Amino acid sequence: MKIACNVTGQAALIAELVNLATPHRQGGAVVGRLAHEELVGAFATKLDANARTALHADPSAGPRLAELATELRRALLAADPSITARHVNAMIRKYGAQPYLPEDANGPFHLSFHGTAGSAVDTLAGGLATTLALIMDGYGPDRFGECRAHHCDAVYIDLTRNNSRRYCSMACTSRAKTAAYRTRRHTI
């Protein structure tokens, strides 16, 4: 059985939102927190046209997105899988995530888990929280982490087959490889 809902795309969105909204170090530089309007603008570019329009029309989107990012980061970096599960369950309840099939006459149908608590951010948040639950179930509880590269604490979600991801981005992967090469050369 192939699960149709777009876990891969949603997982990338979760990491994007957390890294846009929370201050962190990336590549040795401190990346500040985006102001609320900047956060809405930057995150909206990652969404499909309908979700983008809804987000821009929601006057409370900025602070609500920042709050959601804090909740997601807390879940991703919890010390224990049972604590991650508790955070994920709390988000599913808070945002009223419900499964439904969008009524698109032209199909194909894709199961969605939008939130039902009212605002555009609630709609998004329900889907993102459910995505974390699906990853916990389908991939295992050890798929979330903080980048291992020097001076980077961006988050990542690992959907590789062999659970091998350790870095937030291609840039940090190559930075870490270069650093390891230099260390080896100095120690030979």
Can you tell me whether residue 80 is helix, strand or coil? coil
Q: Please, are residues 121 and 143 in contact by the beta-carbon 8 Å criterion?
A: no
Q: How far is the CB of 33 from Zn ion (least distance, A)?
A: 17
Give whichever of 136 and 172 is closer to Zn ion, judged by the CB atom. Answer: 172
Please, which residue, 86 or 182, has the CB nearer to Zn ion? 182
- The least distance separating Zn ion from the CB of residue 97, rounded to whole angstroms, comes to 29
> Could you write out the three-class secondary structure of 143-168?
CEEECCCCCCCCEEECCCCCCCCCCC
> In terms of Cα–Cα distance, which of 3, 135, 121 is closest to 70?
121
Closer by beta carbon to Zn ion, 21 or else 152: 152
Minimum distance of Zn ion from residue 34's CB (angstroms)? 18
Q: How far is the CB of 32 from Zn ion (least distance, A)?
A: 16
> Cα(120)–Cα(53) distance, rounded to whole angstroms?
9
Measured from the CB atom, is 55 or 147 closer to Zn ion? 147
Measured from the CB of residue 59, what is the shortest distance to Zn ion in angstroms? 33
Torsion of CA 16, 114, 129, 145, to 10 degrees: -30
Nearer to Zn ion, 55 or 152 (CB): 152
Q: How far apart are CA 75 and CA 133, in angstroms?
A: 11
Residues that bind Zn ion (CB under 5 A): 147, 149, 152, 154, 168, 172
**Separation between Cα atoms, residue 176 and residue 174, nearest integer Å:** 5
Distance from C-alpha of 101 to C-alpha of 98, rounded to nearest angstrom = 10
